[in-house]
Amino acid sequence: MTELISVNTFWTIWLFVHLILAVGLLGALTHQAMAVALPARQPAGGIVTRFRAVPAAGYATAVCVLWILTYIVGSYIYTKYRIAIRIPLEAGHYYKTGGFFDFKEHVATLGLVLLPAYWYFWKNAQDPSYDNARKGVTLVLAAMCWFLFIVGHVLNNTRGFGS
């Protein structure tokens, strides 16, 4: 592979793939979280109402697939991060940045294990006995996703693309 593209380009492409998957996941989960937290009473209206009025149940499988794919690609990039990013971060005394990355990896796994129940609750969205659990787990996953995205973004600014 290194004969075709440089090592930097190779990892930058994977970082882009991770980013694109994460953006899709963030969008889908934010739509769902808004739909359960602030349900729209009318299907049409302003942009905010329409953002909340999506058919949220249809996102469940896509969210699970995107979380798993983002997780797998992130896990692959992590091998490069451990050598090429974290060691220089430590050498530069960027301990908070390194600590937040480790925090991010733990949160990603905590989110991963929620997916089976999350998927089940959404696939049975017609059953009101799951309403509270579905709302809770969706909001937790959305909050986790925003945290993962922001930490990843800040870390990329510290030592990401092109470094």
Q: Is 137 in the site for other proteins (CB under 8 A)?
A: yes
For residue 94, count other CB atoms closer than 10 A to its CB: 18
Q: Which of 7, 9, 20, 58 binds other proteins (CB under 8 A)?
A: 58
Q: Could you tell me how many residues of this chain bind other proteins (CB under 8 A)?
A: 60
- Give exposure, 30-45, as e/b (b: 16+ Cβ within 10 Å): ebbbbbbeeebeeeee
The minimum distance between CB 120 and other proteins, in angstroms, equals: 4
Q: Pick left, alpha or beta for residue 55 (phi over 0 → left; psi -120 to 50 → alpha; otherwise beta).
A: beta
Distances (CA, A) of 91 to 8, 77, 87, 88, 95: 21, 20, 6, 5, 9
Q: Which of 57, 62, 68, 69 binds other proteins (CB under 8 A)?
A: 57
Q: Which of 30, 125, 156, 160 binds other proteins (CB under 8 A)?
A: 125
25 vs 36 by CB, closer to other proteins:
36
Say how far apart CA 29 and CA 25 lie, in whole Å. 6
The minimum distance between CB 33 and other proteins, in angstroms, equals: 11
For residue 48, count other CB atoms closer than 10 A to its CB: 11
Binding site for other proteins (CB under 8 A): 35-36, 39-43, 52-58, 75, 78-80, 82-83, 86-87, 93, 95-96, 98-99, 102-103, 105-107, 109-121, 123-126, 128-133, 136-137, 139-140, 144
